[in-house]
Amino acid sequence: MKAILQRALCASVIADGEPAGKIEHGLLILLGVLKGDEKTDADLLAEKISKLRIFDDADGKLNLSVKDIGGSALVVSNFTLGADYRKGNRPDYFAAEAPARANELYEYFSDALRERGIHTENGVFGADMKITFTADGPVTIDMDSAVLKKQ
């Protein structure tokens, strides 16, 4: 499971022309569910993200988590995080999980963030989505549950 975290002053998503999730200060999270991912992958990412110290403290140091600042998360599904771009100029997405299972794990991940005390909004799985956000920093983190499993 892969996640791209973007620290945001605000973020919103329009899904199939309709407003969906919206947050103020917090994280925009693009989440890619890959073949073979399990709930343990979602739990690993949710645990790490909820405690990741990437927000400024009073001294301007990156010492606070999204939970510490009372921030929120906007989670948007993104199968293209499983892109294989090694051959040719058109990536394939064969590493992405099948839609039904991917949606199940996407929802599970969002619930795992909520269980850790983070207000979490969502896009609409499988919809055509337009994301608007104001980057804060910018601070961008590329996270992969496979890397966390190796610890």
pLDDT of residue 8: 98
Rounded to whole angstroms, how far apart are CA atoms 11 and 9? 7
Q: Quick one: average pLDDT of 109-131?
A: 97
Amino acid at position 80, single letter? T
> What tens digit of pLDDT does each residue of 24-78 get?
999 999 999 999 999 999 999 999 999 999 999 999 999 999 999 999 999 999 9
Domain ranges of the chain: 2-139
CATH code, residues 2-139: 3.50.80.10
For the question of whether the overall pTM of this predicted structure is more than 0.85, the answer is yes
What is the SS3 string spanning 99-137? Answer: HHHHHHHHHHHHHHHHHCCCEEEECCCCCCEEEEEEEEE
